[in-house]
Structure 1
């Protein structure tokens, strides 16, 4: 239900589903890329065990943080944008 107590239309539910999927997919992609950037040298070069552990741990920490921040930011931006009154139509002032 919406904040006014009315039920959401199928289009609104679909929009929320698509936005959640986009948030998760884009967050996972960003997390993988940043993990590779931080921890990649640990797998490419022969490094001591301590340095490898630090790089991989740092990569995991960065990936988790980026994933969480990306999901939250996408979903908050979607919530603030609001839903169009007539999906598929543009308003005269747009």
Structure 2
């Protein structure tokens, strides 16, 4: 693990917060998008249940995928490689 500076710990905390907040918005949007036909078409019974299960599944998968992608990219950018196009890494 090694010793981390306060700035590095703060950056990790901010990145985790960003990942969780954006993942929550994505999950809510996915749930609403998939579950919308239940309200729009006034569905009930097995069709409504199946759509709500699909909506919950899509929301969970979207949330997990977003968190993993954001944190994976953050980890990749802290390994000393350039963090984006046009940026250069200092010569060692």
Identify the TM-score tier after normalising by the shorter chain: 0.7 to 0.9
Aligned twin of 2:56: 60
- Which of 65, 72, 78 pairs up with 1:76? 72
Q: TM-score, normalised on structure 1?
A: 0.80
What stretches of structure 2 of length at least 5 have no aligned partner? 81-86
Name the Cα RMSD after superposition: 1.8
Contact 1:38-1:55 at 8 Å conserved across structures: yes
Aligned twin of 2:84: none
Poorly superposed stretches of 4+, deviation over 6 Å: none
Q: TM-score, normalised on structure 2?
A: 0.81
What stretches of structure 1 of length at least 5 have no aligned partner? 85-91
Count, aligned residues: 83
SS of residue matched to 1:29: helix
